């Protein structure tokens, strides 16, 4: 997809971080946007900052964990724009807690936000993409979707699940010109650690040092758009250390497991 002009792009988690940066990047390309998150006032702020014409941006507030809302939300988008060209599954929440301390309900929340919400929305819009014989899913996984680390067990599990599901979708969607690009960010300068869930499901409330010194969200967005232009199947976005860890696991798994075991978060 060389040109995003007039493409209808639906972004979840669009009110901050990578989602907001992607909204700005697609807006500069002349795309039409559907902005989804829970906070309508923040979505309105993002809409204003895009400087797009009013009828080119649909603000669609939604709690993605309310899975029954996926189908009516998709119907709203289709009624407004008549099609969906790109679906950006960006809504997500991280974790900061040990397995032994974490309530089962926290794991359910992590899976609902990071995995089941994407499945529900995907199933809601897939019939439209099949009918129009084209579409592109941008799936926000993580380096955590490749490597399991301490205090991230539920987050790791949900991100690993995304790879299995969307690898299958990529294969099944091929005859209908439906594409999938899976994004594995490392440390990006966002509030993901601040909003992460602790053992009881409350917000962690602290900025990780690695996150604070990560690459800017707008740079991450630029690399994502470039990957979609080139129809990349999977990309890694981040600093040398976390991206290198993916290759260390592939070729020297025992070395990686030893490093993960010793890397206890402070």
Q: What is the pLDDT of residue 239?
A: 85
Number of Cβ atoms within 10 Å of the Cβ of 130 = 16
The encoded tokens of residue 73 equal: 């939300």
251 inside domain: no
- The residues that are catalytic are 155
The whole-angstrom separation of Cα 147 and Cα 234 is 15
Strand partners, 88: 11, 138
Q: What is the pLDDT of residue 242?
A: 83
Note down the domain range covering 192.
Answer: 8-241
255 inside domain: no
Q: What is the pLDDT of residue 1?
A: 65
249 inside domain: no
Strand partners, 8: 32
260 inside domain: no
Strands 234-237 and 32-36: unpaired
The whole-angstrom separation of Cα 159 and Cα 246 is 14
* pTM, rounded to two decimals: 0.94
Residue 144: CATH number of its domain:
3.40.50.720
DSSP annotation of 215 = B
The whole-angstrom separation of Cα 56 and Cα 91 is 21
The whole-angstrom separation of Cα 183 and Cα 222 is 12
10-residue block means of pLDDT along the chain (266 residues)?
Answer: 90 97 98 97 97 97 97 98 98 96 97 98 98 98 94 97 98 98 94 90 82 88 97 93 89 88 75
132 inside domain: yes
The whole-angstrom separation of Cα 110 and Cα 151 is 13
215 inside domain: yes
Give the chain's domain count: 1
| Element (DSSP H or E) covering residue 235 | strand 234-237
250 inside domain: no
Helices (H), 112-239: 117-132, 153-173, 209-212, 217-229
259 inside domain: no
Q: In angstroms, how far is CA 21 from the centroid of its own chain?
A: 12
Residue 93 burial by Cβ neighbours in a 10 Å radius (0-12, 13-18, 19+)? buried
């Amino acid at each position: 997809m060389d040109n995003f002009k007039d493409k209808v792009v639906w972004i979840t988690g669009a009110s901050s971080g990578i989602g907001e940066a992607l909204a700005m990047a697609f807006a500069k390309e002349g795309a039409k946007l559907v902005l989804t998150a829970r906070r309508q006032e923040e979505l309105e702020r993002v809409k204003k900052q895009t400087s797009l014409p009013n009828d080119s941006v649909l603000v669609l507030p939604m709690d993605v964990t309310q899975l029954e809302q996926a189908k009516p939300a998709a119907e709203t988008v289709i009624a407004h724009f008549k099609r969906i060209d790109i679906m950006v599954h960006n809504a997500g929440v991280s974790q900061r807690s040990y397995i032994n301390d974490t309530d089962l309900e926290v794991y359910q929340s992590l899976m609902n936000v990071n995995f089941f919400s994407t499945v529900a929305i995907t199933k809601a819009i897939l019939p439209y993409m099949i009918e129009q014989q084209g579409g592109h899913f941008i799936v926000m996984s993580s380096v955590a979707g490749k490597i399991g680390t301490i205090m991230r067990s539920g987050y790791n599990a949900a991100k690993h699940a995304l790879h299995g599901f969307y690898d299958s979708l990529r294969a099944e969607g091929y005859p209908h010109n439906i594409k999938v690009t899976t994004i594995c960010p490392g440390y990006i300068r966002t509030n993901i650690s601040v909003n992460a869930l602790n053992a009881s499901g409350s917000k962690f409330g602290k900025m990780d040092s690695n996150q604070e010194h990560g690459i800017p969200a707008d740079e991450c967005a630029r690399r994502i758009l470039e990957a979609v232009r080139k129809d990349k199947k999977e990309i890694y976005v981040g600093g040398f250390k976390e991206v290198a860890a993916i290759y260390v696991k592939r070729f020297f798994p025992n070395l990686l497991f030893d490093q993960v075991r010793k890397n206890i978060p402070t």
